[in-house]
């Protein structure tokens, strides 16, 4: 989850990311299972973050490349896994000379509103018959948290928009099919997720992942908005000393069956 609003210039605290939000890559292990790596395959991990899943794909026998827009994420990944190749690039416009058997992505693509550009780059990166295996936030993802923050911000005169891309199964399958993919698996499901940090877990989550949500809010007002959102959410999202984020995930497996299709308006 390393693109913020599609920008390549955002800064991440990778220590806090790994130590306080490990659920991001821990849940991603199920997506690695969907990838079903075959030894010797070339695999691109798109939005690789600190590289933990990239390393697991390499351990399964693949020739893997991890790609991320974040300088901090790539530096940490290279330090942690020096035997794995990591590249810093923008997910909307990357290119490689040699195509891949598979493109994998976990918890990254919903950060990028320009999804057509991302899918065009993925199409170009895959061999004919290559597969795209991904998990991202789906429609309804984080509705309760986003609504509470928007309500609290509106009470102070700030209009907050949802900065993320959370598609439905139908919407995303249509995008893939329009680019010549055959969608063989797509599912949307709830994944209530405990946030680490106890009573401070929601504030810590918003501090790590909420910069784009609070883009129009001055720092001086942000803390009070978070506190108001916590009060609104506490009855439904706080249990046994833990905050529960209302995650909904979309998983997809699609195969490239044709060359790139140029879309027209």
Q: Alpha-carbon distance 52 to 261, whole Å?
A: 33
Tokens standing for residue 54? 């990239």
Q: 26-82, pLDDT tens digit by residue?
A: 777 899 999 999 999 999 999 999 999 999 999 999 999 999 999 999 999 999 999
More reliable by pLDDT, 125 or 1: 125
Share of the chain above pLDDT 90, in %: 83
pLDDT at site 230 = 98
pLDDT at site 259 = 54
pLDDT at site 40 = 98
Q: 168-195, pLDDT tens digit by residue?
A: 999 999 999 999 999 999 999 999 999 9
Q: 197-211, pLDDT tens digit by residue?
A: 999 999 999 998 898
Share of the chain above pLDDT 70, in %: 87
Scanning the structure block, which residue is given the tokens 């998983």?
251
- Level-2 CATH architecture, domain 14-142+164-196+246-256: 3-Layer(aba) Sandwich (3.40)
Stretch 148-155: mean pLDDT = 98
- Taking Cα atoms as reference points, which of 90, 254, 258, 95 lies closest to residue 175? 254
Tokens standing for residue 231? 């009060």
Model confidence, pTM: 0.90
8-state DSSP, 162: P
pLDDT at site 6 = 37
Tokens standing for residue 158? 């700030």
Environment class of residue 172 by beta-carbon count within 10 Å: exposed (0-12), middle (13-18) or buried (19+)?
buried
The pLDDT mean for the chain works out to 90
């Amino acid at each position: 989850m390393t693109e913020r609003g599609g920008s390549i210039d955002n800064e991440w605290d990778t220590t806090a990311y790994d130590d306080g939000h490990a659920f991001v890559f821990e849940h991603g292990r199920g997506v690695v299972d969907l990838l079903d790596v075959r030894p010797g395959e070339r695999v691109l991990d798109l939005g690789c973050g600190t590289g933990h899943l990239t390393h697991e794909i390499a351990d399964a026998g693949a020739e893997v490349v991890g790609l991320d827009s974040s300088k901090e994420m790539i530096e940490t990944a290279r330090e942690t896994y020096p035997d794995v190749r990591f590249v810093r690039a923008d997910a909307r416009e990357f290119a490689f000379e040699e195509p891949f058997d598979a493109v994998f992505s976990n918890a990254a693509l919903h950060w990028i509103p320009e999804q057509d550009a991302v899918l065009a780059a993925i199409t170009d990166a895959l061999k004919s018959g290559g597969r795209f295996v991904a998990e991202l936030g789906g429609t309804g993802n984080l509705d309760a948290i986003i609504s509470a923050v928007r309500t609290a911000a509106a009470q102070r005169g700030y209009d907050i928009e949802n900065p993320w891309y959370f598609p439905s199964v139908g919407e995303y399958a249509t995008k893939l099919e329009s680019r010549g993919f055959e969608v063989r698996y797509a599912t949307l499901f709830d994944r209530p997720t405990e946030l680490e940090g106890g009573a401070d877990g929601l504030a810590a989550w918003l501090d790590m992942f909420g910069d784009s949500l609070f883009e129009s809010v001055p720092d001086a007002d942000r803390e009070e908005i978070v506190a108001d959102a916590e009060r609104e959410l506490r009855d439904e999202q706080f249990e046994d000393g833990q905050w529960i984020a209302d995650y909904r995930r979309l998983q997809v497996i699609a195969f490239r069956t044709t060359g790139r299709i140029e879309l027209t308006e």
